[in-house]
Amino acid sequence: MITAADFYEALAEGTLLATRCADCDGLYIPPRSLCPACYGTELKVEELSGKGTVGAYTAVAITTTRMIEAGYGRDNPNITAVVDLAEGVRISALIHGDDITVGTPVVFDSEHSAEHVVFRKDDS
Amino acid sequence: MAQRKLGRGVAIVGAGMSPFGTFARMATRDLFVEAFLDMRGSVDKGLDPDDIEALYVGNYSSDLFEGQGHTAPLMADWVGLTPRPATRIEDACASSGVALREGIIAVASGLYDVVLVGGIEKMSNLPTGEVTDALATAGDALYEIPAGFTFPGFYAAMATAYMHRYGAQSEHLIQVTQKNHENGALNPKAQFGQRIADIMEGKKERAAAKGRPVPEWESEMAFFHDDRANPMIAAPLRLFDCSPISDGAAVLLLVSEEIAGQFTDEPIRVIGSGQASGRALHDRDTLTSIPAAQRAGQMAYEMADVTPDDIKLAEVHDCFTIAELIAIEDLGFFAPGDGYKATEDGMTARTAPRPVNTSGGLKSKGHPVGASGAGQTVEVFKQMRGLAGERQVAHDVDVALTHNVGGTGQTCAVHIYERGQA
Ligand SMILES: [Zn+2]
């Protein structure tokens, strides 16, 4: 079974972990052990490219204790987004850097991802 | 989806609520007692509490808000129902919409003839920071919250997707607030029952009284754009895009239709009930609508055998301005992307043929999360029976709808009501 512990362990090592269903080809991030589309249980680990675009975003001024402890807050809102990944799936991510909008290309920031998934603007 | 019908007819014959607001001296049980007494007073031919057979009560998190778990038997006790079965339902902000559905199912099954349904929440004990943390737990604690989402943050993100896709502006969103405060100003139980113009006036008066510079705004829109008066919570949503932190309770009395005449000559029949679950925001096909709401609505319409055009009044889940725009589209009142235009054109106003949130909605009336769903039904009960006082709509409301969302749409409960003859 693959769990969030595996996902965050891989994340800390710079990998964005997904699983793909051997039966119906469904791709899942966060990774799952049971395919909700076909109930298949043979899911194989797959590493994603880390490329995507911003699907929806916000700049959170009144934020969680967890984010405040990470240095965010009213004067430094955390930018958080739903990222549309190149593989056709989505993930919630913290965005480093500003000046983003819906559609902005972003890329997985493996250096800064450990406790949370971080993406940054893709300037390439 | 297969069309489902209730095993037998269920009617609402009593509905009441505490005022919504912040009440430092009142605990959840006190609010519940107040709502219970208000409900009892609404039963035309009287209620003998001994006839109540079970309680279903919606509550999101008295555990986090009050340090109180296991709330249902406690509520039962404080209104004299011990030892009858008491069950707590938790589906975030949809807790009491779902409790209503569970109560309906219990009566329709034939097991009970008389059931009490309630909703409770006491949020104001905690400072805003801890309320932010508590509400965020309605999202995915493993994969959404670590990314920095808050509850307003989720809806803010949906707002950016909606605005980008359909061309809506912040000014369109805030028109929901303006309308709902117009309505809430006519609701004596509303937490912020004031028109925006009156709120602006109040701020000026308080500044003057304290000897501070008196703020000036050229218009309501200028007020909404003022970072001091209307600070950013989660961009693009500002304070006045958000429902408040609230305390409150609401209580409904459900009976089998066969015995409704013992309680009133004007029962409100439940003709449609739908409920659906949904995934985390990042696991949905769409960011501009709520699939669980669409599905719950469809289930309720099919059970009731009515269409959106038959609905004469709706209370929808406007926890944030964007949520009302998405709600009125998900329910089929307007096409996707037309909700903001319809709002701008006054098509959801109290004087429109199908008004939305005549109570003031969660925005103005208040949003004690676990009580909000049952609170919506209280408004419908009053409007359908012509007892909504100053805010009573002019047209006959023979069919009405409530729409109660949990989280960002991981739960939705929709109910449709018809005024019956006992
Ligand atoms: Zn599969």
Tens-digit pLDDT profile for residues B201-227? 999 999 999 999 999 999 999 999 999
Q: Of the candidates A60, A68, A90, which has its C-beta nearest B234's C-beta?
A: A60
Same domain as A23, residue A80: no
Say yes or no: A68 contacts chain B, CB-CB below 8 A. yes
Mark yes or no for CB contact A65/B282 under 8 Å. no
> How much is the pLDDT for B2?
58
Mark yes or no for CB contact A92/B280 under 8 Å. yes
What total number of domains does chain A contain? 2
Last residue of a domain, one of A47, A64, A79: A47
Same domain as A58, residue A32: no
Read off the pLDDT of residues B325-366 as tens digits, 9 standing for 90 and up.
Answer: 999 999 999 999 999 999 999 999 999 999 999 999 999 999
Burial class of residue A61 (count of CB atoms within 10 Å of its CB; 0-12, 13-18, 19+): buried
Distance A42 CA to ligand 1 centre (A): 8
> How much is the pLDDT for B53?
98
Say yes or no: A12 contacts chain B, CB-CB below 8 A. no
Q: Could you list the residue range(s) of the whole structural domain that residue A28 is in?
A: 4-47
What is the rounded radius of gyration, in angstroms, for the C-alpha atoms of chain B? 20
As a whole number, mean pLDDT of residues B392-401 equals: 98
For residue A63, the SS3 value is coil
Same domain as A84, residue A32: no
Same domain as A80, residue A39: no
Same domain as A39, residue A59: no
As a whole number, mean pLDDT of residues B308-315 equals: 98
If one counts every other C-beta atom within 10 angstroms of the C-beta of residue B130, the result is 15
Mark yes or no for CB contact B157/A91 under 8 Å. no
> How much is the pLDDT for B166?
98
Residue B90: pLDDT band (50, 70, 90) is very high
Residues of B in contact with A73 (CB under 8 A): none
B50's tokens: 């001994």
Same domain as A99, residue A79: yes
> How much is the pLDDT for B82?
98
Distance A34 CA to ligand 1 centre (A): 8
Same domain as A64, residue A111: yes
> How much is the pLDDT for A124?
80
Q: Residue B402: which region, alpha, beta or left (left: phi > 0; alpha: psi -120 to 50)? A: beta
Whether the predicted model's global pTM rises above the 0.95 cut: yes
CA dihedral A95, A100, A102, A105 (to 10 degrees): -80
Residues of B in contact with A61 (CB under 8 A): 231-235
Say yes or no: A72 contacts chain B, CB-CB below 8 A. yes
Is it the case that residue B3 has pLDDT exceeding 90?
no
Is it the case that residue B4 has pLDDT exceeding 80?
no
Residues of A in contact with B280 (CB under 8 A): 92
Read off the pLDDT of residues B245-273 as tens digits, 9 standing for 90 and up.
Answer: 999 999 999 999 999 999 999 999 999 99
Percent of chain B with pLDDT over 70: 99
Same domain as A78, residue A95: yes
Same domain as A68, residue A10: no
Q: What are the residue ranges in chain A where pLDDT is below 70?
A: none
DSSP E strand boundaries for A1-124: 17-21, 27-28, 43-47, 51-60, 78-85, 90-96, 105-108, 118-121
Q: Of the candidates A4, A83, A94, which has its C-beta nearest B148's C-beta?
A: A94
**Considering only residues 88 to 117 of chain A, which have any Cβ-Cβ distance to chain B shorter than 8 Å?**
90-94, 101-103, 115-117
Same domain as A106, residue A65: yes
The amino acid sitting at B254 is L
Read off the pLDDT of residues B43-80 as tens digits, 9 standing for 90 and up.
Answer: 999 999 999 999 999 999 999 999 999 999 999 999 99
Under DSSP, the state recorded for B111 is S
Q: Which residues of B are catalytic?
A: 93, 367
The overall average pLDDT reported for chain B is: 97
What is the rounded radius of gyration, in angstroms, for the C-alpha atoms of chain A? 15
Same domain as A75, residue A38: no
> How much is the pLDDT for B248?
98
Identify the bridge partners of residue A45 per DSSP, sorted by sequence position. A19
Residues of B in contact with A83 (CB under 8 A): 282
> How much is the pLDDT for B81?
98
CA distance B381 to B14: 8
To the nearest whole Å, the CA of A51 is away from the closest chain B CA by 16
Cis before B73? omega within 30: no
Same domain as A66, residue A8: no
Number of CB pairs < 8 Å for A and B? 114
Is it the case that residue B422 has pLDDT exceeding 80?
no
CA distance B161 to B289: 10
As a whole number, mean pLDDT of residues B278-291 equals: 97
Mark yes or no for CB contact B231/A61 under 8 Å. yes
Distance B379 CA to ligand 1 centre (A): 45
